Amino acid sequence: MMSKKHNFVRVRFAPSPTGPLHLGGIRTALYNYLFAKKHGGSFVLRIEDTDRKRFVPNSESYIMETLKWCKIEPDEGAGYGGIHFPYHQSQRGDIYRLYISKLLEKGHAYYAFDTDKELDIKRKEYQNRGFTFSYNASIRMDMNNSLTMTKKKLYTKLNSGSSYVIRFKIPHGEKLKMEDMIRGDIVVNTDSLDDKILLKSNGIATYHLANTIDDYLMKITHVIRGEEWLPSMSLHLLLYRAFGWNTPIFAHLPLILREDGKGKLSKRNVDNFLDFPIFPLQWKVPETNTIIPGYRELGYFPEAFVNMLALLGWNPGIPGEIFSLQELINLFSLKKITKSGVYFNIKKANWFNKQYLKEKKGEIFSYLSIELRKRSISYEIDDLYKIIHLTIDRLHFVHEIWEHSFYFFISPSSYESSLFNQICHQNIIDQLEDCKKSLSNISQFTSVNLRLLFQKYNKKNRYKMMQIFRLALVGTLKGTDLFMILEILGKEKSIQRIDKLMKKIREKI
């Protein structure tokens, strides 16, 4: 076994191009990136594409674009270059065949010629006896493999072109001790393991073989990956040992779970991708051309997304939740990652975006300016900044600014019926006429002076008149501070909107 000291940290993110990255995948990439940068090491991108049947077009470009959007780009790897090329497993077949020959020579692997029919017969036989069939140490000597035949017969088989796979020979009766940086010490009885296939009948290496060889040749010091790979850790350690190599340090990350308790957050376990967005970027499903929105398209800032993601299973150990990427790097530690699954909360994700939005007033200004130009609405720059200042606490996303500010630019075309029907009588018109005169006489049309105007009413009537004014200005009882709305609209537009409401009331009565 290896020494746990490394002169230079090297980690890798090794996704398969079988579809879009989801939250769990990009979090794995993020933690690898943070760990590498914290220790002055290298972050490597490797594409594990040996399973060509599951290959999905555009998956690899999606991976690259996601890492770039999150600002966690690799130091080397697929699309980035490096001395350990090629970084696609599909291009490394000769390397895998060279190393599997070493396992065969040392007796750590063997040829298996069992046909699908023969394996099915064995499975049914075990099933009828109430057992589960496993191709392991207890059964391998009863199967059609090189362990049960002479060298001459093996030679004949291989030269005849018979189909075969190469299996790993799991040691019998051993208690394998393993160490995980997150989960601590783990012990596995090797008799519970089956002789995994290392080379498929089509001559392509399986993930287990390719992954182990690549990690060694690319000098990976720490394997930081999802919890779903924890059951494979024993096989990978045994492969390292069989080759006579030092092993990397392992750390298996917890699952990201749905907040409603209905299992893990995954593309197979989500019905509505707006309620539970799981993709960082938009994805177009090849079979149906269905567009599934990602965090970027939903309006999240990459900084907010990364900040949120970093805290899904990791605790920095200090107060606060808002951290820049550099702060995350400085604070990151694998020892502070939780063992148990962590629940995803979309409201919390929105909260993170809201915190970063407060520093993005320039982007909000640009978005609002574009919306106004689309509608050919003129505006004063100073007014736009006032409006943004008034509404920003109501926003989670830049695109929400129009929803919360449109009434500053467009006079209501209709009125909230619940209040409008209550005020349709002559007395209200008289009160509004009186208010109009008072508004006309205000020399400085400021929120302070306008607030004083309403002091002449008692508390009950003051509240009612403020509601009526809001209805006139906005059309509903929603909106920001009433007196700031009046100030920004100005005297002329405010009186015009009051006249418009009075006309509607007269039509009603």
CA-nearest of 165, 169, 168, 171 to 112 is 165
CA distance 237 to 186: 12
- Helix 93-106 vs helix 233-243: crossing angle, to nearest 10: 70
Q: Which of 267, 436, 491, 504 is catalytic?
A: 267
109, 174, 192, 480 from 188: Cα distances, Å = 20, 8, 8, 62
- Helix 482-508 vs helix 426-441: crossing angle, to nearest 10: 140
CA distance 401 to 388: 8
Please, are residues 43 and 36 in contact by the beta-carbon 8 Å criterion? yes
CA distance 410 to 497: 10
Q: Is 224 helix (H, G, I), strand (E, B) or coil?
A: strand
Task: Give me the phi and psi of 340, to 5 degrees please.
Answer: -85, 160
40: CB partners within 8 A, 6+ apart = 8, 9
Say if residue 393 is exposed, middle or buried (CB neighbours under 10 Å; 0-12, 13-18, 19+).
Answer: exposed
CA distance 315 to 322: 12
> In the numeric block, which tokens belong to residue 463?
């509240």
- Catalytic, 493? Answer no
Q: Is 400 helix (H, G, I), strand (E, B) or coil?
A: helix
Task: Give me the phi and psi of 225, to 5 degrees please.
Answer: -150, 175
CA-nearest of 498, 413, 384 to 450 is 498
Task: Give me the phi and psi of 282, to 5 degrees please.
Answer: -60, 140
Please, are residues 476 and 416 in contact by the beta-carbon 8 Å criterion? yes
Say which DSSP state 153 is in.
Answer: H
The catalytic residue positions are 267
